[in-house]
Amino acid sequence: MSHLTDEARAPFRDAQPTITAGDDSLEAIVAANPGRRSVLKNGLLGLSILPMLGALAACDDDDDDNSGSPSPTPSPTPTPAPAPSYSIAFASVAANQNDTVTVPNGYTVDVLLKAGDSVEAGTPYSGSYPTPADAEKWAGGNHDGMEYFELSGTDANQGGLLAINHELADYNILFSGSYDAATASADQKALALSAVGISVVEVAKGTDGKWAVKAGSRYNKRYTGNSSYKASGPASGLLSNTIKGMLNNCSSGRTPWGTYLTCEETTDNYLDPTQPENNYGWVVEIDPYQELAQPTKRTALGRFDHENVAHMTDSNKRVAFYMGDDSTPGCIYKFVCDRAYNSSNRAANTDMLDHGTLYVARFNADGSGEWRALVQGQNGLLPGASDPGNVSQSTTPPTPAIVNFNTDADVLINTKSAARVAGGTVMDRPEWLTVAPDNSAVYCTLTNNSSRRVADAANPRIRNLHGHIIKFKEKDNSPLATTFTWEIFLLAGDPGLSAGGSNLVGDIKGDTFSSPDGIRIDPQGRLWVQTDHSVPGNSGVTGTTIDQAFGHNAMFYVDQTSKQSKRFLVGPEGCEITGIAYTPDLKTFFVNIQHPTGNWPVAGQQPRSSTVVITRNDGQPVGN
């Protein structure tokens, strides 16, 4: 969560929904293009692979006797190209406070897509404030999570689709002054809502080696806070038939059948408070190829401050989706689909996320863990249930609240409360999760919780200013497991802050950081971590800002065995580093720079959130 989002949401944070009963609503399964329904698999690369249309080879029916013709000279066997190296060999970038994107020597950074650039055909930002109609076609602001999707007939290392989240508006390019929903004009409200949601753009590598958005591509599309969405699943009857907008699109995920999962990190529409609260706080499934159902809020995955989604599959095509509630504090969840997904028919998976079981994680002090089902009638989820509240935030326990869970819809609308009633462990702002390619581990970043006053084994620090990363392992490496084991992977901080107390030191080996947020294991098993400490921020030591202690927010490689950390990228002034995607050969990385405040990315212009492309000058995989 951006600290700007946290400030924007503050007046609405304590609002509670009204729980009523409703009927299930199942969507129609329609695929617009049957020719591209058939095969879409998720392999080790974690990329959507559309079916390639094979050509039939023509047979030689010539019956002439050519026995007297001389035999052709065989071509020499070509020398195979050396296998690419995915070893981590880059020299760490020094922590700094420069107003640029800093990467190791031998790497290049190019800006791909800025807030205000055209996604759909229209007039891009050029220094003047837009009309709402113009802004609706622009790339939104505060670029966050994203995913890269392959295109049939296109070399995925040369081009594909990027789906990019927009968490909050870059207001500085929309209108003068700040945004106040209570006093905003109709145009200001429309402009603010235009800048959230997602952008889908086709991107391609040119002959000069530079990546660019393909203008006019039929895939280029904005989904905004002004667009219309539908809901499906057990709680859909409690939502509006047509929902205005999605917003606070923080991080994201994907499905094995090649759809994009964008996460609403808010349970109300604080940009337009006239909208019903129950319409927000969901995972929204969107098909970047525009072949399947319209964008749909999937209520079976629960309503809370969603950060991202990571999935685990097994050999039988059973799948679980892992999610964090980025609140202070919040729980960790997983959703297990009732049936296996279909790898040969995309349309058959359209309602996969409407049928399954939602679980909350309980981390026991002995290193064991369990997934507790959030199902009405189980684990205390009954009428008159007692919600203990956020017990970690005060040494004096809060007064429990009575909550009526009469139906499964009640559980899903009020998931935060249901998780606490069921005994889920309240964590220090669970943000991104990532799953190892071989299912051997799941990692979750716990960004920070400076208000924690009661520690536990999984959250061992009160006033957890710098955050930590937890690692857990499902029983038998199975997405269907109901138990797991866990450990603290690392505690963030820096030994140079010891004057402020041992809680600030951490145990990072190598380059230190604060507030881990984005995290992803790439297909070669390499772990990348991105940070989001507040700017300006408190380091915990009087007279030392957080930037002085750690430099600007950055991206790190962390070895999973030695836990050695190496700083790979440092962002410009005022930014958060977030979002990571890559081509299958891992020679191109896409990273998002959110809410810069200085003179970046274009000198002399307003600062704008942007997606950048990172490549090695010698054409080798990123990380060498």
Query: Per-domain residue ranges for the chain?
Result: 107-232+571-623
Among the listed residues 304, 325, 306, 288, the one whose alpha carbon sits nearest the alpha carbon of residue 147: 288
Which H or E run contains 190?
A: helix 186-194
What's the pLDDT at 184?
Answer: 97
Which H or E run contains 615?
A: strand 610-616
Rounded to whole angstroms, the Cα distance separating 195 from 193 reads: 5
Task: Give the residues across from 48 on adjacent strands.
Answer: 42
Rounded to whole angstroms, the Cα distance separating 466 from 66 reads: 78
What's the pLDDT at 18?
Answer: 34
The owner of tokens 């035999």 is 71
pLDDT < 70 positions in the chain: 1, 3, 6, 9-75
Rounded to whole angstroms, the Cα distance separating 376 from 410 reads: 8
Name the burial class of residue 338, with classes exposed (0-12), middle (13-18) and buried (19+) by CB atoms within 10 angstroms of its CB: exposed
| CA distance to 382, 398, 453, per residue, from 401 (Å) | 13, 9, 20
What's the pLDDT at 318?
Answer: 98
pTM of the model: 0.89
Among the listed residues 316, 304, 418, 295, the one whose alpha carbon sits nearest the alpha carbon of residue 359: 418
| CA distance to 184, 371, 372, 435, 538, per residue, from 480 (Å) | 48, 10, 12, 14, 41
3 state DSSP class of 44: coil
Among the listed residues 184, 128, 140, 168, the one whose alpha carbon sits nearest the alpha carbon of residue 248: 168
Q: Which amino acid is at 91?
A: A
**All residues at 6 or more sequence positions from 410 whose CB lies less than 8 Å from its CB, including other chains:** 19, 21, 376, 404
Cis? peptide before 329, omega within 30° of 0: yes
pLDDT digits 0-9 by tens, 428-443: 999 999 999 999 999 9
Q: Which amino acid is at 290?
A: Q
What's the pLDDT at 272?
Answer: 98
What's the pLDDT at 274?
Answer: 97
- Let me know: does 405 contact 411? Beta carbons within 8 Å: yes
3 state DSSP class of 333: strand
| CA distance to 220, 256, 312, 434, 490, per residue, from 474 (Å) | 38, 19, 10, 13, 19
Rounded to whole angstroms, the Cα distance separating 125 from 131 reads: 11
**All residues at 6 or more sequence positions from 43 whose CB lies less than 8 Å from its CB, including other chains:** 49
Please count the other Cβ atoms lying within 10 Å of the Cβ belonging to residue 138.
Answer: 29
Structure tokens at 401: 């609240």
What's the pLDDT at 83?
Answer: 83
Rounded to whole angstroms, the Cα distance separating 301 from 203 reads: 31
Rounded to whole angstroms, the Cα distance separating 522 from 520 reads: 6
3 state DSSP class of 10: helix
pLDDT digits 0-9 by tens, 187-205: 999 999 999 999 999 999 9
For residue 17, the number of C-alpha atoms closer than 13 Å in the C-beta half-sphere is: 30
What's the pLDDT at 32?
Answer: 35
Task: Give the residues across from 491 on adjacent strands.
Answer: 468
DSSP string over 355-423: SEEEEEEEE-TTSEEEEEE--TTSTT-STTEEE---GGG-SSPPPPEEE---SHHHHHHTHHHHHHHTT
What's the pLDDT at 48?
Answer: 40
pLDDT digits 0-9 by tens, 134-176: 999 999 999 999 999 999 999 999 999 999 999 999 999 999 9
Phi, psi of 531 (to 5 degrees): -115, 160
- Let me know: does 490 contact 464? Beta carbons within 8 Å: no
What's the pLDDT at 64?
Answer: 40
